[in-house]
């Protein structure tokens, strides 16, 4: 399906009234390749998207946006493992729910995250003590120029906190077409996250249901209030930096992170800056979670940018911590440097 000068309002979870010159909904890799060839032929910018739940359109897009809807789930098993090969256009949350219904457990902590399966390895989605890297076996990508398909195994993905090799510029000529997820048949609940610790005894469905309640308390439903989940990443600092901050702010929450580093809670840092009532145009901080920026109805990209800039400045001035967006910023010709846009 192709549309010209199409509004993306219903196709981005922030609900911004943005348009693209061409919009294509692709159910096969062949359609994606054709769209890419068309973009090359007419020298148009090309962008692949899932459900646009992790992007901020800074302005109208001047090229072709392809919404990936490649479907299909194949399940194999051996004595110890469920092996899932999933089309990258499948909806992530639906996959989590379907696996549980089939008695395949393990993904429950990552329930209720919007978006497609193809996007989950890119920022190594994470929530409630679990990250995709814990289950991802491989990622299949197609090279847009040659049509060659390549399998990238977990140890080659360089997964880290909200990051992977797929954020590297080299991968802009590739599209993720499938993801392989392996889940152990011997299920172990992961209850390391504070709000889950009291859940005992517990089933995967208990965790799934509990996470629904936790999320409902903290994050608005994008179908009702436009948002992209956490707008900023939690900052990672050295032990020395954390110790210095704790001297001035003894109640500051902090969490041990890999390589002797410390993870801080971006939401807490923002909360300390008295921004609860702050808004720009029709954009504001969500009253139940300061890390979530919302579109109250008619916010523009500029409203969201100015709001994000002000938050970053206030936190920076107070803590000398300069927040980095988790969200990807898209200009008329493609992705741009998010930090530069709000500095």
Ligand X SMILES: Cc1cc2nc3c(=O)[nH]c(=O)nc-3n(C[C@H](O)[C@H](O)[C@H](O)COP(=O)(O)OP(=O)(O)OC[C@H]3O[C@@H](n4cnc5c(N)ncnc54)[C@H](O)[C@@H]3O)c2cc1C
Q: Which residues are catalytic?
A: 162, 230, 326
In the complex, the smallest distance separating the C-beta of residue 88 from ligand X, rounded to whole angstroms, is: 5
Tell me how far apart the alpha carbons of residues 284 and 275 are, in angstroms, rounded to a whole number: 9
Phi, psi (deg, nearest 5) at residue 313: -65, -45
**CB of 33 or CB of 52, closer to ligand X:** 52
Tell me how far apart the alpha carbons of residues 322 and 57 are, in angstroms, rounded to a whole number: 22
Q: What is the dihedral of CA 167, 173, 176, 180, to 10 degrees?
A: -80
Residues that bind ligand X (CB under 6 A): 13, 47-55, 68, 88, 113-116, 118-120, 122-123, 125-127, 175-176, 219, 222, 227-229, 328, 335
**CB of 100 or CB of 132, closer to ligand X:** 132
Q: 83 has which bridge partners?
A: 76, 182
Pairing status of strand 19-26 against strand 61-68: parallel
In the complex, the smallest distance separating the C-beta of residue 255 from ligand X, rounded to whole angstroms, is: 16
**Vertex 121: Cα angle to 16 and 341 (nearest 5):** 40
**CB of 130 or CB of 269, closer to ligand X:** 130
Residue of minimal Cβ distance to ligand X: 50
**CB of 143 or CB of 318, closer to ligand X:** 143
Give the number of other Cβ atoms within 10 Å of residue 218's Cβ. Answer: 16
User: How many residues does this entry show for the chain?
Assistant: 343
In the complex, the smallest distance separating the C-beta of residue 272 from ligand X, rounded to whole angstroms, is: 23
Q: 71 has which bridge partners?
A: none
In the complex, the smallest distance separating the C-beta of residue 38 from ligand X, rounded to whole angstroms, is: 17
**CB of 191 or CB of 245, closer to ligand X:** 191
Tell me how far apart the alpha carbons of residues 298 and 26 are, in angstroms, rounded to a whole number: 29
In the complex, the smallest distance separating the C-beta of residue 147 from ligand X, rounded to whole angstroms, is: 15
Contact 330, 56 (CB under 8 A): yes
């Amino acid at each position: 399906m192709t549309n010209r000068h199409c509004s993306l309002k219903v196709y981005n979870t922030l609900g911004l009234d943005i348009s693209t010159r061409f919009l294509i909904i692709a159910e096969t890799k062949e359609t994606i390749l054709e769209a890419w060839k068309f973009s090359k032929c007419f020298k148009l910018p090309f962008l692949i998207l899932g459900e646009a739940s992790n992007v901020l359109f800074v302005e109208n897009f001047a090229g072709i946006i392809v919404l990936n809807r490649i479907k299909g789930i194949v399940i194999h098993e051996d004595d110890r493992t469920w092996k899932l090969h999933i089309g990258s256009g499948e909806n992530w949350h639906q996959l989590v729910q379907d696996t549980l219904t089939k008695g395949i457990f393990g993904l429950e902590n990552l329930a209720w995250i919007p978006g497609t399966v193809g996007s989950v390895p890119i920022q190594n989605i994470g929530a409630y003590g679990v990250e995709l890297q814990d289950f991802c076996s491989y990622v299949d990508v197609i090279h847009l120029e040659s049509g060659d398909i390549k399998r990238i195994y977990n140890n080659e993905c360089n997964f880290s906190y909200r990051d992977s090799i797929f954020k590297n510029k080299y991968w802009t000529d590739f599209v993720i077409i499938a993801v392989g997820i392996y889940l152990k048949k011997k299920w172990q609940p992961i209850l390391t996250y504070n709000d889950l610790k009291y859940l005992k005894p517990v089933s995967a469905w208990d965790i799934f249901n509990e996470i629904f309640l936790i999320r409902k308390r903290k994050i608005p439903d994008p179908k009702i209030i436009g948002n992209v989940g956490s707008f900023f990443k939690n900052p990672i600092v050295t032990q020395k930096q954390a110790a210095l901050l704790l001297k001035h702010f003894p109640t500051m929450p902090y969490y041990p992170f890999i390589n002797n580093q410390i993870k801080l809670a971006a939401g807490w840092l923002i909360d300390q800056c008295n921004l609860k009532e702050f808004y720009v145009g029709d954009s504001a901080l969500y009253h139940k979670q300061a890390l979530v920026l919302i579109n109250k109805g008619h916010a523009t990209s500029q409203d969201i940018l100015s709001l994000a800039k002000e938050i970053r400045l206030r936190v920076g001035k107070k803590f000398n911590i300069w927040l980095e967006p988790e969200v990807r910023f898209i200009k008329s010709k493609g992705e741009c440097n998010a930090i530069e846009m709000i500095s």
